Amino acid sequence: MSARVTVVEGDITAQEVDAVVNAANRAMRGGGGVDGAIHRAGGPEVLEDCRRRFPHGLATGDAGWTTAGRMPARWIIHVVGPNYRAGETDRALLVSCYARALAVADELGASTVAFPLVSAGIYGWPRGDAIDAAVSTLGSTPTSVEEARLVAYGRAAYDEIVTALSR
Ligand code: ADP
């Protein structure tokens, strides 16, 4: 089975789900955008767990988990999206982020998972294609996750995801 893909507009840190996905970077020590928001909402425990579990960081396209600290979710699944702006334009790396995140969710037994649009912010992946990669990978990858919730940050992204889901 594959997950039911849904969309909401809002802040991923407030989602009442089993796991939230973070668009992290290879160093896994926090950063800007959604990464910064997740570390602020989760509190210092998240960074401590990142240091403990990922002493050497994480590779582009890979995923791993930590505690979610003070967020309503139980886990954070960190993925490292490709940095389009820096020339990492191989779409397979972006697809891998979603597929690996679902595999980690399966290991954890998470049934509801919230995703941001990985690489579509600071890393500069063209939004339409980032949405297409998210919707097609989440909708076709075999998993025990029941709901894969795309969290759109802003109305424009929300509308584009709704359109992609209806195709
Ligand atoms: P990347 O470096 O992978 O591009 P960003 O955090 O810059 O990561 O952006 C990824 C996506 O997350 C963008 O679509 C951005 O608008 C969105 N985003 C930023 N903050 C939040 C948040 N608090 N909740 C949900 N999405 C967010």
**Statement: the pTM of the whole predicted model exceeds 0.95:** yes
Place 58 in a pLDDT band, splitting at 50, 70 and 90. very high
Chain mean pLDDT for the chain: 98
Spatial distance between the Cα atoms of 151 and 66, rounded to a whole number of angstroms? 20
Ligand 1 close to Cβ of residue 33 (< 6 A): yes
**Ligand 1: which of 88, 153, 161 to mutate, most ligand atoms within 8 Å of CB?**
153
Q: At what angle do helices 127-140 and 91-108 cross, to 10 degrees?
A: 40
pLDDT tier for residue 39 given thresholds of 50, 70 and 90: very high
- Indicate the pLDDT class of residue 42, thresholds 50, 70 and 90: very high
Place of tokens 């988990």: 65
Domain count, the chain: 1
Per-residue pLDDT tens over the stretch 66-111: 999 999 999 999 999 999 999 999 999 999 999 999 999 999 999 9
Task: Give dist(CA 10, CA 14) in Å, integer.
Answer: 8
Burial 31-69 (b: 16+ CB within 10 A, else e): bebbbebbbebbeeebbebbeeebeebbebbbbbbbbbb
**Domain that residue 134 falls in:** 4-166
CATH number at residue 51: 3.40.220.10
Determine the distance separating the centroid of ligand 1 and the alpha carbon of 167, expressed in angstroms.
Answer: 24
pLDDT tens digits along 134-149: 999 999 999 999 999 9
ipTM: 0.98
- As annotated, the active-site residues are 35
- 42 Cβ inside 6 Å of ligand 1: no
pLDDT digit string, tens, across residues 23-33: 999 999 999 99
Considering only CA atoms, which residue is closest to atom 19 of ligand 1? 34
The stretch 13-18 carries a mean pLDDT of 98
